[in-house]
């Protein structure tokens, strides 16, 4: 159930509706207080998700802890949608969205997601090597992506590195979607990337609103247009880069393909959201190792 785009988007929409319903009550409160409450809730989900994934990494597969990690991500998607629902009920939506705790919370959640994603790949290298090789990429590119995701996650929290990191991670996620499309994978395989693209786009838009809050409306519109143009450019770079890096070889290892298809049967049983793949890929890698996936990894 968790491994679906419609589930993730549905959670956000459900949160948005709940935000609309409770918006009358929150609208009478100071926007900064609502923003602080949102920050606390996001922090709680990030901590729970981080601890659950840490347990899985350090102590091995655990259905319970994997479920907790997925649940934390699902709650995060719900309150993400609720935030915008409450903002709509405000006299001026930007009064809530431009509060510093809101942008700080979004940056923190996405930063931890990408940092964990990069680190998590190191704990499931056979699985990741197989996928990247099958997709026509090199192991060196896999290592670059791991490094970029960790560095980009940290950069989201650093003022001077925030915008470059935001742009780079957007390219990364567009590239992930482009790779799945080129591979002919089902849409649900791009669930995590689509989720992150929604978050990254929201961060960019809120940054544009916040940085021009005390400036003429014309400046705000120009910055929002700039964010949209950056998204288009990131998409273009990702698609062009994906095809440029793709190996021309059309012969794939039948064993690797079969094993990766087997890996999908494991991943579809696991919660898939911003915390899914770290625990999920690790669990799948552990299970596949017992069936000979390690030997395939050594041959690549």
Secondary structure (DSSP) of 57-99: HHH---HHHHHHHHHHHHHHHHHHHHHHHHHHHSSSHHHHHTS
CB atoms within 10 A of CB 87: 26
Residues making up the chain, counted from first to last: 300
Range of the domain at 66: 5-298
Closest CA to 289 of 68, 158, 129: 129
What is the tally of structural domains in the chain? 1
**Locus of tokens 């929201």:** 202
SS3 assignment, position 278: helix
- Return the pLDDT at 213: 67
Q: How far apart are CA 134 and CA 140, in angstroms?
A: 14
- Return the pLDDT at 229: 96
Closest CA to 241 of 182, 163, 194: 182
Q: Give the pLDDT confidence of 5-28 residue by residue, as tens digits.
A: 889 999 999 999 999 999 888 777
- Return the pLDDT at 55: 86
Q: How far apart are CA 20 and CA 39, in angstroms?
A: 19
Closest CA to 214 of 100, 104, 98, 107: 98
- Return the pLDDT at 3: 57
Closest CA to 4 of 185, 188, 265, 187: 188
- Return the pLDDT at 127: 87
Taking only the tens of pLDDT, the chain with its 300 residues reads: 455 888 999 999 999 999 999 988 877 788 899 999 999 999 999 999 989 988 887 777 778 888 898 899 999 999 999 999 999 988 888 889 999 999 999 999 999 999 988 888 888 888 899 999 888 898 999 999 999 999 999 999 999 999 999 999 999 999 999 999 988 898 888 999 999 999 999 999 999 998 876 778 888 889 999 999 999 999 999 999 888 887 543 444 444 444 444 444 334 333 334 444 444 444 333 333 333 333 323 333
- Return the pLDDT at 58: 79
């Amino acid at each position: 159930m968790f491994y679906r785009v419609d589930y993730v988007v549905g959670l956000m929409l459900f949160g948005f509706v709940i935000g609309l319903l409770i918006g009358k009550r929150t609208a009478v409160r100071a926007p900064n207080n609502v923003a602080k409450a949102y920050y606390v809730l996001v922090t709680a989900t990030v901590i729970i998700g981080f601890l659950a994934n840490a347990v899985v990494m350090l102590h091995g597969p655990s259905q319970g802890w994997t479920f907790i990690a997925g649940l934390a991500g699902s709650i995060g998607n719900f309150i993400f949608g609720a935030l915008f629902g409450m903002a709509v009920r405000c006299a001026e939506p930007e009064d809530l969205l431009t509060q510093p705790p809101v942008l700080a919370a979004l940056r923190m959640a996405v930063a931890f997601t990408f940092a964990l994603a990069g680190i998590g790949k190191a704990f499931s290298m056979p699985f990741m090597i197989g996928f990247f090789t099958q997709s026509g990429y090199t192991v060196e590119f896999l290592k670059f992506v791991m490094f970029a995701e960790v560095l980009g996650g940290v950069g989201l929290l650093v003022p001077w590195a925030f915008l470059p990191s935001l742009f780079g991670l957007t390219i990364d996620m567009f590239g992930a979607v482009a790779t799945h499309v080129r591979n002919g994978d089902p849409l649900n395989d791009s669930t995590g990337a689509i989720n992150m693209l929604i978050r990254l786009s929201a961060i960019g838009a809120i940054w544009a609103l916040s940085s021009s809050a005390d400036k003429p409306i014309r400046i705000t519109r120009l910055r929002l247009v700039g964010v949209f143009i950056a998204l288009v450019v990131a998409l273009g770079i990702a698609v062009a880069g994906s095809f440029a890096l793709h190996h021309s070889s059309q012969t794939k290892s039948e064993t690797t393909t079969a094993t990766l298809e087997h890996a999908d049967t494991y991943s579809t049983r696991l919660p898939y959201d911003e915390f899914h793949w770290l625990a999920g890929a690790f669990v799948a890698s552990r299970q596949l190792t017992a069936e000979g996936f390690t030997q395939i990894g050594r041959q690549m």
